């Protein structure tokens, strides 16, 4: 990729704002250019699929979606493919943490709710606690 072209793609990636797809419209980019720009934005190789207004990573998992009216959702995943973050244009978000077996051990959301879980070696839930005061301890 020529240096001037690369700088142009990087400029667009820095210039666009949410909602990303709508922000890209004035640039008139080709499909492969959209993928390059969004790859910089999401810091990973991605592919934009227009009819679904979705951006997918190399594992064909959605990292971003957008409707024609500008509503958007973003998703992040850990190395095991577990969703660790979700955010949308309404201001809602969810953060999650997982153990080595893929069990969700912590969840927190934009409404202030949180919960903690522990599992035994067989994957059975042995502990649960949440922000509403619920507690289950089978340790």
Radius of gyration over alpha carbons of the chain, in Å? 19
pTM score of the predicted model? 0.84
| pLDDT tens digit sequence for 90-131 | 999 999 999 999 999 999 999 999 999 999 999 999 999 999
Residues 23 and 72 grouped into a single domain? yes
Same domain for 74 and 32:
yes
Q: Which domain holds residue 16?
A: 1-86
pLDDT 10s digits, 45-90:
999 887 667 899 988 899 999 988 889 999 999 999 999 999 999 9
Q: Mark whether 73 and 134 lie in a shared domain.
A: no
Does residue 115 share a domain with residue 77?
Answer: no
Whether residues 6 and 65 fall in one domain: yes
Q: Residues 64, 117: one domain?
A: no
Rounded Cα distance between 9 and 37, Å, is 6
Domains contained in the chain, number: 2
């Amino acid at each position: 990729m020529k240096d001037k072209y690369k700088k142009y793609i990087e400029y667009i990636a820095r210039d666009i704002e949410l909602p990303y797809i709508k922000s890209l419209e004035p640039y008139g980019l080709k499909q492969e250019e959209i993928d390059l720009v969004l790859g910089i934005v999401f810091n990973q190789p991605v592919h934009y699929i227009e009819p679904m207004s979705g951006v997918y990573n190399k594992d064909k998992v959605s990292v971003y979606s957008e409707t024609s009216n500008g509503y958007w959702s973003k998703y992040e995943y850990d190395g095991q493919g577990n969703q660790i973050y979700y955010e949308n244009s309404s201001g809602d978000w969810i953060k999650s943490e997982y153990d080595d077996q893929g069990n969700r051990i912590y969840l927190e959301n934009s409404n202030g709710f949180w919960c903690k879980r522990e599992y035994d070696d067989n994957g059975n839930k042995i502990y649960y606690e949440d922000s509403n005061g619920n507690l289950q301890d089978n340790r």
